[in-house]
Chains A and B, each alone.
Chain A
Amino acid sequence: MLLTRKVEFSAALVCSNPAWSEAENLRVYGANANPHGHGHNYMLEVTVEGRPDAVTGMVFDLRELKEILNQEVVEPMDHRFLNREVPPFDRVIPTTENIAREIWTRIEPRVRGPNVRLRNVRLYETADLYVDYGGHPSP
């Protein structure tokens, strides 16, 4: 069974590669390269897959999932400037793809269990653009 929890956070960011010229960054990232930053209301949907527990009848404790998302995503990222305040975005360009991957890396170990696993991270940058990430392929 799949279980999905939604959470929102708002953050500022700049997408630009310090190794490139301003013109090159503007060509690749468009308005997202504005050096002073811009912001989004990100909407995150985290989907967990598992079998409902025989005793509790739950795939995963929703309160615990809420707490994990608060600790790993909302507290560190909400109302922050990602490049300046939230590692690894001092080094990693905070494209929505990279933010989705970072969120996966942060929460995946905390929802891993014998009957449960993280299935998908969907990150909406706006209502018209979102990224789905299902994890690193197994080696």
Chain B
Amino acid sequence: MTTMRVTRRYRFAASHRLDSPALSAGENRKLYGKCNNPYGHGHDYSLEISVEGPLNAEGMVVDRQALDRLVEQRILRLLEHKNLNRDVPEFERLVPTTENLASVIEHRLREHWNLAPRLARIRIAETDRNAFEMEVPAE
């Protein structure tokens, strides 16, 4: 059986502020620098979702429209033009670093996964210079 990986890239814009409740105001300023600005700041994120599975009879690993629908409904709708700290429930307690954002996306996708191939990898670039990548282990 032929196994392949298909990766689709999506984009969204969101704001956030990095501020850990476990640290003092001074420590937060020192640790997060500009990212601790009390009014927040924003990024144009680039999100890559990779799925892995066998080639189906149609010569594809995944139905692109079904993947787009899932990501649109479960992820983009949640994040696009939002304030991560205020609009995304997970970030009431969690610092919205891009590392944590990748985990939140992974959890939400796994919870609602309805596609035949498995979720294999998530990569988020916050800017062209910073990217975060996680492999999702096969179950």
Contact B6 A98 (CB under 8 A): no
Q: Which of B2, B8, B59 has the most CB of A within 10 A?
A: B59
Contact B55 A132 (CB under 8 A): no
Contact B60 A97 (CB under 8 A): yes
Q: Which of B4, B55, B65 has the most CB of A within 10 A?
A: B4
B41, chain A: closest CB distance, angstroms: 25
Contact A100 B4 (CB under 8 A): yes
Bound-state Cα–Cα, A128 to B50, Å: 11
Bound-state Cα–Cα, A136 to B23, Å: 51
Return the chain A residue nearest B61 by Cβ. A97
Return the chain B residue nearest A32 by Cβ. B64
Q: Is A133 an interface residue (CB 8 A)?
A: yes
Contact A28 B58 (CB under 8 A): yes
Contact A95 B59 (CB under 8 A): yes
Return the chain B residue nearest A136 by Cβ. B2
9 nearest A-B residue pairs (beta carbon): A95-B59, A128-B9, A132-B5, A93-B59, A98-B59, A133-B4, A95-B60, A130-B7, A131-B6
A-B contact pairs, 7 of them (CB 8 A): A30-B64, A93-B59, A96-B6, A97-B55, A101-B55, A131-B5, A137-B3
Interface residues of B (CB under 8 A from A): 1-10, 50, 55, 58-61, 63-65
Interface residues of A (CB under 8 A from B): 15, 17, 28-30, 92-93, 95-98, 100-101, 127-133, 136-137
